[in-house]
Amino acid sequence: MESQLRSLVKTVTFRIVAVLGTIALIWTITGNIEESTEITIAVHVLLTVLYFANERVWNKIDWGRTRRL
């Protein structure tokens, strides 16, 4: 089992890599760094909201959970 700090650092570093990768991809397509940054911010805000909603829905589903004794 890993510590909460390790999980947090892994999450933050992955999000940084994901944001930079998205900017690079969109910049390659559009050729415009400002537009790429704006699209990336919008996409990652949307993905964060969708992830949160998905987590809340899954929190209500018991499938795959085990009870602690």
Predicted confidence at residue 69, as pLDDT, reads 75
Predicted confidence at residue 66, as pLDDT, reads 85
Q: Is the pLDDT of residue 2 over 90?
A: no
Average pLDDT over residues 28-32: 97
The more confidently predicted of residues 2 and 25 is 25
In the numeric block, which tokens belong to residue 28? 């390659």
pLDDT of 31-69, one tens digit each?
999 999 999 999 999 999 999 999 999 999 998 988 877
Predicted confidence at residue 10, as pLDDT, reads 94
User: 18, 44 in Cβ contact below 8 A?
Assistant: yes
